A = this chain, B = another copy of it.
Amino acid sequence: METVYVVKGMTCGHCAGSVTQEIAALPGVEHVDVALDTGKVTVKSETALTEDQVRAAVDEAGYELVGVA
């Protein structure tokens, strides 16, 4: 399944890398796509992730999950 999240505060490659790293470490994640211009992060995973799991990962990276796009 694929879900698009909106993350606040990513401005550069380092930001994109940190968010990708944390989200890709969640169980079952296969693809992570980061759009630097819009802050949209598209996550494809084998099984459903809860918004809390994704929020915690984004928090861990130092950014803020606004919600599902």
State the A residues within 8 Å of B (CB).
12-14, 16-26, 29-37, 42
Copies in the complex: 2
Cα A23 to Cα B29 in complex, Å, equals: 20
- The interface residues of chain A, by DSSP majority, are classed as mixed
Cα A14 to Cα B22 in complex, Å, equals: 7
Partner of A33 from B13, B14, B21, B33 at Cβ < 8 Å: B33
Asked if B24 and A13 sit within 8 Å, CB to CB, the answer is yes
Partner of A24 from B22, B29, B34 at Cβ < 8 Å: B34
What chain B residues lie within 8 Å of A18 (beta carbons)? 17, 21
Q: Using A13-B24, A22-B13, A25-B14 as known contacts, say yes or no to A34 and B32 having CB atoms under 8 A apart.
A: yes
